[in-house]
């Protein structure tokens, strides 16, 4: 059975996102943004545009980190 690389990367990102919690909303926004940007760049590079993937992933990660409660 062949695995989908995007599904594998998405699973890896979810684990990293859960492990990278900060103490304040600002810290969580920064760590979420960095993780999201890295994951977005990785996924974007497979689809042909790493820059756009990094921007989208970073934005979503920052918002997700800022709004989550510890």
Residue 4 clears pLDDT 70, i.e. is over it: no
Predicted pLDDT at 1: 46
**Residue-range definition of the domain harbouring residue 54:** 23-70
The whole-model pTM stands at: 0.62
Q: Is residue 12 part of a domain?
A: no
Q: Is residue 66 part of a domain?
A: yes
Residue 53 has what pLDDT?
A: 82
pLDDT in tens, 20-65: 567 787 887 887 788 788 888 877 877 777 788 888 888 888 888 7
Question: For residue 8, is it within any domain?
Answer: no
Backbone angles phi, psi at 69, to 5 degrees: -95, 150
Contact 41, 57 (CB under 8 A): yes
Q: Does a structural domain hold residue 44?
A: yes
Total domains in the fold of the chain: 1
Quote the CA–CA distance of 63 and 34 in Å, as a whole number. 11
């Amino acid at each position: 059975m062949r695995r989908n690389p995007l599904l594998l990367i998405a699973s890896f990102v979810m684990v990293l996102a859960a492990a990278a919690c900060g103490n304040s909303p600002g810290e969580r926004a920064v760590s979420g943004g960095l993780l999201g940007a890295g994951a977005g760049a990785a996924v974007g590079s497979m689809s042909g545009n790493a820059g756009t993937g990094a921007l989208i992933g970073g934005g979503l990660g920052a918002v997700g980190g800022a709004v989550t409660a510890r």
